[in-house]
Amino acid sequence: MARGGGEYNGGGGVLLSYKRITLLVCLINILIALFVLRFLYASSLHIFPNHDNGVKYTADEIRRMEESVRIRRSKEPVELVRLVKKMKHDVAIAESSVELSPYVKGKLIDEILELLRRVEEKSNVTLLREAVETWRIDKLKEAKELIQEQNGVNSTVILEEAGITH
């Protein structure tokens, strides 16, 4: 029983060496890898087709979609949204700069509420906005007159409080 140098003769006369078995296993692995890559490539063609096989809409459907988008945009209160954003920005700036005394805050709140009560109940937002804007302009004028009258007597507090009402 002599050992051969890494060769096996299985009785069929075919000589198999470790080198040949390794090459055979590598060849089988390469064939399997190529088969998997081909399958993946073929399936990706079905997922992402090159040709334009998408949904085709009729002219009437496209017109209805465009009309729907137009109606949605026309119903959106663009002006109101813009004004709310502006007011939020103005309030954030005003709050960060100076804090009004509670007495002044209460007085301003009471004046605005009284102004809004005087405006008719069925008024629209535009009339209410105009009334508040007119009130604000009047308050600014009053603040400027007070500043000019006092001319230095505790003027920094008045300036700060006048700045809040812009």
Q: To 5 degrees, how large is the angle CA 111–CA 116–CA 117?
A: 95
| pTM listed for this prediction | 0.32
The pLDDT, as a whole number, for residue 64 is 93
32 lies in the same domain as 68: no
Range of the domain at 131: 99-164
SS3 string, 89-153, reads: HHHHHHHHHCCCCHHHHHHHHHHHHHHHHHCCCCCCHHHHHHHHHHHHHHHHHHHHHHHHHHCCC
- 112-131 residue pLDDT tens: 888 777 776 667 778 878 88
103 lies in the same domain as 159: yes
87 lies in the same domain as 134: no
- Structure tokens belonging to residue 125: 């937002």
pLDDT band at 1 (very low <50, low <70, confident <90, very high): very low
Task: Report yes or no on 2 lying in a domain.
Answer: no
What percent of the chain has pLDDT above 90? 19
Task: Report yes or no on 126 lying in a domain.
Answer: yes
128 lies in the same domain as 142: yes
Number of domains composing the chain: 3
29 lies in the same domain as 61: no
- 17-51 residue pLDDT tens: 899 999 999 999 999 999 999 888 877 666 655 55
